Amino acid sequence: MPPSPPLPELIAVVAMASNRVIGRDGKLPWHLPEDLKFFKRTTLGHPVLMGRRTFESILTALGKPLPGRLNLVLSHTMEPREDVTVIRDVADIASMPGVKSPVYLIGGAQLYGSLLPQCSELILTYIEQPYEGDAYFPDFEHLFKLKEVLGQGEGFEFRRYVRKAG
């Protein structure tokens, strides 16, 4: 049996409040247009991997999948759709034609929790105040170290973390 093809590089992208909140009722609990522009610039032209609930929240907000990106939805229950690629296992990405590295992991909390250890980088919008929420970003400090601050604005920073050696 031939070995499985390697997974493409995974990079997590997230906006997180100071208390680790990343969502509330399926939405972002803050209004930060600069972050939405940064997210688009970062992910445009690349595959994005998300869970079913994150995909449903994007459909609610935009009425369609994220444009200009191959939308991959990891779900055991979602039916196949014409406008996105539904996968049952993250390993399926390795054998998909036309999927180029990196693949951006865009949520939600459950997917971050299970796939963050496989990510090579973390692109984090750090929001310098707490928010009420029901979805939280997992501890990552043991996996990643801050490499650079990519930009900042009033009350937030765009940070790039890389995987720690070992």
pLDDT tops 60 at residue 135: yes
In a domain, 102, yes or no: yes
Tens of pLDDT along 55-77?
999 999 999 999 999 999 999 99
The domain of 142 spans 10-163
Q: How far apart are CA 66 and CA 64, in angstroms?
A: 7
In a domain, 2, yes or no: no
Tokens describing residue 161? 């973390």
pTM of the model: 0.94
**Residues near 19 by beta carbon (within 8 Å), at least 6 away in sequence:** 130, 131, 133
Instruction: Find, among 93, 71, 90, the residue nearest to 82 by Cα.
Output: 71
pLDDT tops 70 at residue 4: no
pLDDT tops 80 at residue 3: no
In a domain, 140, yes or no: yes
Tens of pLDDT along 100-133?
889 999 999 999 999 999 999 999 999 999 999 9
Residue 82: the pLDDT is 87
In a domain, 139, yes or no: yes
Side-chain half-sphere of 26: how many Cα atoms within 13 Å?
Answer: 11
In a domain, 1, yes or no: no
In a domain, 5, yes or no: no
Buried b / exposed e across 95-112, counting CB within 10 Å, b at 16+? eeeebeeebbbbbbbebb
Q: Give the count of domains, the chain.
A: 1
The DSSP line for 137-166 is PPP-TTTEEEEEEEEEETTEEEEEEEEPP-
At 40, which CATH number?
A: 3.40.430.10
Span 42-51, average pLDDT: 97
